[in-house]
Amino acid sequence: MDFAELVLSSTEVGSTRSRKAKTDALAAVLAATPTTEIGPAAALLAGAPRQGKVGVGWAALRDIRAAMDGVERAGAPVSVTEVDEMFTDLGDVRGSGSTARRRSIIEAVMRRLDPSERDVLQAMILGDLGQGALESLVVDGLAKATTIPAAVVRRAHMLSGDLASTATIAALEGRAGLEAVTLRIGRGVLPMLASTAESVTAALEVTGPASIEQKLDGARIQAHRTRDGEITIYTRNLNDVTQRLASVVAVVASLPGTSLVLDGEVLGLDPDGRPRAFQDTMSSFGSEEDDGRPDARGPAMVPFFFDILHRDGQDLIDHPLSDRLTQLEAVAGPHRLGAISTDDPATAEAFTADTLAAGHEGVMVKALGSTYDAGRRGKSWQKVKPVHTLDLVVLGVEWGHGRRTGWLSNLHLGARDPEEPGRFVMVGKTFKGLTDELLAWQTAALLDLALDPSQRTPEDGWVVPVRPELVVEIALDGAQRSTTYPGGVALRFARVRGYRTDKAVADADDLDAIRALLA
């Protein structure tokens, strides 16, 4: 298949706000894609090439595009396979001369594209396709293209953690092949996600009898241990961080039994056991090594597990949560997250008060009869944060003044548009809660994300629009109606709690979460 056909489909997807229309467009192009190319095509349509990041940034692409200004397409059309091979080649480049080699690889493909196709390829390289085709939409499009029930496709995608392989199996082996996909120890599983509830009482009205669990201000992890004792630790985005979390590896190695897959959080703790701020946890989480001791690098990194997906040869994802928690208690013991099981609102509210007093950010309310399901946020798991916090996306930033001169300071904050996946709507600004250390970090990070890479100083423009790739956790007192912002709502007394580098923008809160805070 010609890459140009994917470009046309991507353009069509980006031109509509209708989820159904996006799904139909994706289904049409995937149905026409040869089985040998459907895996790479699905990944490219989601804006996430199967090879992941390939070490090419804005500056390099700007130079390549500048060299091609006015250059007409030359040569045969580029196929999807050739684009996929380009990403593989880019990922394989190492050592001296790598910059020139990557440029040569990209130029060889771009010379055979027209300008609009070059734009789309550039966006795919940067992971900034921005046409609203998130993985969940491509999964639904794949289901329609192959006439396989969406639930079957979503489950296989959850268990494989890989869109390209899910698409290939669907095309080559059909429903039977997808139903044969099982949990494999050592391969990341897409995590189950939660929706938001106003209160514990409101959540219990939906869930019925539930596990009420401490909601830690940490980083989500998934721990795998094979029968041979090999341990792998993944983030919520399924990045392998085993080498960074030696203390977590040691804990997982010490647990009873043989093979395990555990879902949990890693949290930085002070010597007295109090939780540290999220940014402190992430500082240690991102270090090259962690020996589990609080020192100059940061707090001790301690895992707390709240679910178990596999134990000693038995997959548990289809078991009710009540059974999974019984098995988790037998395995994790002191490393199990604090929780109670109840359907009594007064008991749940008392537990919530104790959790907040201990320095945690809220609770999770999980239906005891629920199975483990990744994908769209359902009502089986609900998060309750009495201290309002939102995960928002940075859309732009303003240069500071006074003592903040030379730093990017005032953040432009966006929420996901619930009606148009991949689109963000501005809901407010804030410069509060930023330490000097965080100001320095965000200045460097946001300049790298500037839509105009030449915009490096206030003289180039007071406001710096950026690619929507960074999630920041915002504390706020509530929301109010607004005629200033397009979503009709604005944040009240917003302040930065820390950047959520462990979260993808698809995990950010949407406008409905903010509207729910309106008085």
Cα 59–chain centre separation: 25
Per the annotation, the verdict on 385 as an active-site residue is no
- What's the DSSP call for residue 281? H
Q: Which of 391, 363, 352, 366 is nearest to 502 (CA)?
A: 391
Q: Which residues pair with 491 in a beta bridge?
A: 479
Which residues contact residue 495 at a Cβ distance below 8 angstroms, ignoring those fewer than 6 apart?
A: 430, 432, 433, 474, 475, 476
Given the residues 20, 53, 144, 215, select the one marked as catalytic. 215
Q: Which residues pair with 269 in a beta bridge?
A: 275, 300
What is the arrangement of strands in the sheet containing 314-315, beginning at the earlier edge strand? 231-235, 219-225, 260-269, 300-311, 314-315
Task: Indicate left, alpha or beta for 257 from its phi (over 0: left) and psi (-120 to 50: alpha).
Answer: left
Task: Indicate left, alpha or beta for 225 from its phi (over 0: left) and psi (-120 to 50: alpha).
Answer: beta
What is the rounded distance in angstroms from the CA atom of residue 117 to the CA atom of residue 122?
9
Token pair for 260:
């395990």
Q: Which of 322, 238, 333, 244 is nearest to 282 (CA)?
A: 244
Active-site residue numbers?
215
